Structure 1
Amino acid sequence: MLGPDGKPFGGAIATLTRPVGELTVGLLGVVTPETAVLSSPGPAVTFAPVIDTAREAVASLKQAGADVIIALTHQSFAEDQALARAVPDIDVILGGHEHHPITWYEAGTLMHKSGYDAHYLGRIDLAMEKSMTDRGPKVTVVPGWRMIPNRGVTPDPAVAARVAQYMAKLDQELNQPVGKTATVLDSRRAMVRTQETTMGNLISDAIREALKADVALTNGGGIRGDRLYEAGTTLTRKDILRELPFGNVAVLVELSGADLLAALENGVSQVEHKAGRFPQVSGLRLVYDPGRPAGSRVVRVEIDGKPLERTARYRLATNDYLLKGGDGYASLGKGKVLIDAQAGPLLSTVVMNYIAAQGTVSPRIEGRIVTVK
């Protein structure tokens, strides 16, 4: 990740070495190039190819005397596997991105991921030995690992007290009821990234109504609560902000049916990877075939009960992140912006107001997104 000057962004350093006894450990970091569409880095930030960057970093570390090399990564498991195969001088890969714990060997490289939200602590112990051979010095690295669950671990008293202090202040503001749900609301990560959900329907219905749009689309990856709310649950401001924590703004764009279709194709293009771009929609019915190649999976789209027309114009309510091309939604930027991020309301506020106006909401699975085989 590089800034305008071609150097690591934000003053970061590309590599680091640390002495450990008589040996030197080298560290490097890489992040998936998809960060460009998974976040909003701005035009001044560029992403160099991961494997080429890693090779250059390893060469630099070797020149600096590194005996053992550890890569800190934030990319998919498959990308870490490719890195291990392509850059065999990396001894250990400590990765992120997946939300479940993984330990794996790939081409002689240990790969270790410790899940998310500190549910696990990963401990890696490296037994390192340097010896002389006919070809010169050789370092043997034998890694060992532990995956330690945090369940039952007593919190640090000082930290727990400080957390409780802040939570008490937040609860005063956020534990205010907004309304109730008469049906189960599902915001589980695996659901909102692969299929129609009641939480997705609630959010997309809210922004469609608020902005008086023909259709609405939001990304499942922006729904973060990862939980079930049972029927009869009283929803609070805290619940909605937990679901929509990013401060996204609801926006309105007029675009062609062809560009809307392209957006929906993008939305289902990585469903097998549970990518955050999966669409949660309102005002339309999407039928797609996940077995087809990405980019040609949409079988049928209906709006107001009629087939989508490529040349027709539709008013789409979405969020500012997607409008800027986030999660691969480049086609939304081709439309005419009617309400931009400066004029639009906060997405979380839109949802709170929608629930409060109804008192009790009852979103259901309606067949808005249908998978065919």
Structure 2
Amino acid sequence: MFKRAALLYKLTFLFLFTCSIQYAKVVDIVFLHMNDVYEITPLEGGKYGGLSRVAELRKQLLKQNPNTYTVLPGDFISPSALGTAEFEGKRINGAQMIDVLNTLGLDFAMFGNHEFDYKYEVLQDRMDESKFEWISSNVYHDQNGLRQSFRRIDHPIPQYVILKIPSSGKKMVRVGMIALCIDVNKQPYVYYENSVDAGKRIYSEIKDSIDFLIAMTHLTIQQDKELAAAMPEIKFIMGGHEHFNMYVTQDETIIAKADANAKSVYVHHLLYDTKRKKLKIESELKTIDTAIKNDGATSETVNKWVDRAFSGFRSKGFEPNEIVTTLNEPLDGLEINNRFYETNLGKVIGEAMYSVSRNSTAAIFNSGSVRIDDNLMGEISQYDIIRTLPFGGKIIEIEVTGELLLKILNTGIANRGSRGFLQYYGIQYDSSSVSWGFNGHGIIETDTYNIAVSDYLLTGMEQNMSFLKRDNPGILKILEPQADDKSDLRNDIRLALIKYLKEKK
């Protein structure tokens, strides 16, 4: 009897002691994070990427934890190869991305700079078609000076959201989320508030209504770091814009970015201790590859849009499935290389431009026109060419003074790391002497030169090249392709590249 009483006493004491020191509930909030997604199908011959695989991963995560949110911090309706095709008399213009992301089950998205590639009416259509929520903390619709939040059909786009995740009893963990976009695409219908100012303004408004603050951003990594330094209240940043994965800290703020086109995604676990009010973040960079099966419903939506786009390309003289050539050595289309260095792909595109020109001695185009962010290897189809140069565009020949040509080329060097970095063919650059030339002869300011350029370069819209417009006095002559002559491949740089690669077999 005494032993039983002693055992009962010990068990009672242990129970009471355990209750007195019990740990508070740790709430696990999961974010599936992808950014800068322009392709709905897999890349590199089907090895990597593919939104059907992302959809399947999302389903798996939701089974494990219903408190899972899928987010996309900008750049998805443009630019994409499929979006340039026509369907039912109109360009698709990103409609395929919205439909696929709706099927996938995306929860939250934000503006990236490329969302403003289109006219306002196109962007409005895409927002209205979305089943997911958009968030915009620092970007406004500018209507002749009247600045208001962009709207969807039935409500304005919120400047923030507060996620409420069940904890214990009736208690909730309240997560504030803002979305801040870089101000590089300055369309007349868009107004940008300073990112830090917007973040501080919103935090001041909601700080008493949240347990902690996180952000989606579409900023450069340097801007992300500056934001984190100015706003330590932001505990976690899920970013985009750079196109390659990174996981860095600024003071106590973690900044994460995945690889573009869903080659990889991040799975973030935000573990919040409700008693100590402490947040711990655990992240896994997940490669999206053949190890993940395709979600059936998403695959159906993907295939629907591929069929529609390919039909549109055929109506414009392309045969997307035709094999153009077989490459034994890869052509480097990776953005991290094409925006920093002269690449073999840049040389091939430049030579293709030169090959169809009438009297040019060299060719120049902006690296930002190359959007494939992939290596071209093995069998190359016409669709691969379309993916490489989704914007297409004409090849324009100009007679230009040496003074202006040098300004163009030096600005291209100054743009290293951005879309305005120039790729070229037929021109030599000596970095040691910072000099330019043709066939061993330097460029002379008072001489004139015939150069083939992509038509976009003459709009003045390229980075730091507002001076480069058709009315620049340094441009002496402009030779346009014959618009009604289908044999004039200068009408579309992609057709010029297809011809060049076929002839080089």
Corresponding position of 2:478: 338
Partners of 2:337 and 2:343 within 8 A in 1: yes
Secondary structure of 1:266's counterpart equals helix
Corresponding position of 2:233: 89
Change (3 A) 1:165 1:47: closer
Corresponding position of 2:284: 146
For 2:175 and 2:399, locate their aligned partners in 1 and report how far apart those are by CA, in whole Å.
Answer: 54
- Corresponding position: 1:238 with 2:238: no
> Which of 134, 156, 166 is residue 295 of structure 2 equivalent to?
156
For 1:27 and 1:184, locate their aligned partners in 2 and report how far apart those are by CA, in whole Å.
Answer: 41
Partners of 1:9 and 1:45 within 8 A in 2: no
Corresponding position of 1:263: 408
Q: Deviations over 1:65-85 (max 9, x none)?
A: 233211111122222111101
TM normalised by structure 2 equals 0.58
Q: Which amino acid aligns with 1:300?
A: S
- Corresponding position: 1:277 with 2:413: no
> Which of 155, 165, 168 is residue 20 of structure 1 equivalent to?
165
Change (3 A) 1:149 1:181: closer
State, as a whole percentage, how many aligned pairs show the same letter: 23
Corresponding position of 1:367: none
- Following superposition, the deviation at residue 130 of structure 1 comes to 5.9
> Which of 242, 246, 249 is residue 105 of structure 1 equivalent to?
249
Corresponding position of 1:197: 343
Matches within 5 A, 1:307-346: 307-324=442-459, 325-333=461-469, 334=472, 336=475, 338=478, 345-346=491-492
Change (3 A) 1:227 1:25: closer
RMSD: 3.3
For 2:233 and 2:200, locate their aligned partners in 1 and report how far apart those are by CA, in whole Å.
Answer: 9
Matches within 5 A, 1:144-223: 144-151=282-289, 152-164=291-303, 167=306, 170=310, 173-179=319-325, 185-212=331-358, 213-223=360-370
- Following superposition, the deviation at residue 217 of structure 1 comes to 1.0
For 1:74 and 1:248, locate their aligned partners in 2 and report how far apart those are by CA, in whole Å.
Answer: 27
Change (3 A) 1:3 1:306: farther
Structure possessing the higher radius of gyration over alpha carbons: 2
Give ranges in structure 2 of 5+ residues lacking alignment: 1-138, 167-171, 484-489
For 1:160 and 1:267, locate their aligned partners in 2 and report how far apart those are by CA, in whole Å.
Answer: 41
Partners of 1:300 and 1:307 within 8 A in 2: yes
Secondary structure of 1:332's counterpart equals coil
- Corresponding position: 1:121 with 2:265: yes
Q: Deviations over 1:180-203 (max 9, x none)?
A: 668753334343233332221221
- Corresponding position: 1:31 with 2:177: no
Q: Which amino acid aligns with 2:281?
A: P
Q: Which amino acid aligns with 1:347?
A: I
> Which of 223, 229, 245 is residue 79 of structure 1 equivalent to?
223
- Following superposition, the deviation at residue 318 of structure 1 comes to 2.2
Partners of 2:270 and 2:280 within 8 A in 1: yes
- Following superposition, the deviation at residue 95 of structure 1 comes to 0.6
- Following superposition, the deviation at residue 244 of structure 1 comes to 0.9
Q: Which amino acid aligns with 1:326?
A: E
- Corresponding position: 1:225 with 2:372: yes
For 1:162 and 1:6, locate their aligned partners in 2 and report how far apart those are by CA, in whole Å.
Answer: 36
Q: Deviations over 1:326-364 (max 9, x none)?
A: 2333332235472579966222122223444xx226xxx
Partners of 1:180 and 1:360 within 8 A in 2: no
> Which of 283, 287, 295 is residue 430 of structure 2 equivalent to?
287
Corresponding position of 2:133: none
Change (3 A) 1:179 1:3: same
Partners of 1:18 and 1:24 within 8 A in 2: yes
For 1:149 and 1:182, locate their aligned partners in 2 and report how far apart those are by CA, in whole Å.
Answer: 26
> Which of 201, 204, 214 is residue 70 of structure 1 equivalent to?
214
Partners of 2:415 and 2:463 within 8 A in 1: no
Query: In terms of mean alpha carbon deviation, does 329-338 or 239-248 score higher?
Result: 329-338
TM normalised by structure 1 equals 0.76
State the aligned residue count.
335
Q: Which amino acid aligns with 2:412?
A: G
Q: Deviations over 1:241-270 (max 9, x none)?
A: 121122333334444323322222222225
Change (3 A) 1:355 1:100: closer
Partners of 2:402 and 2:445 within 8 A in 1: yes
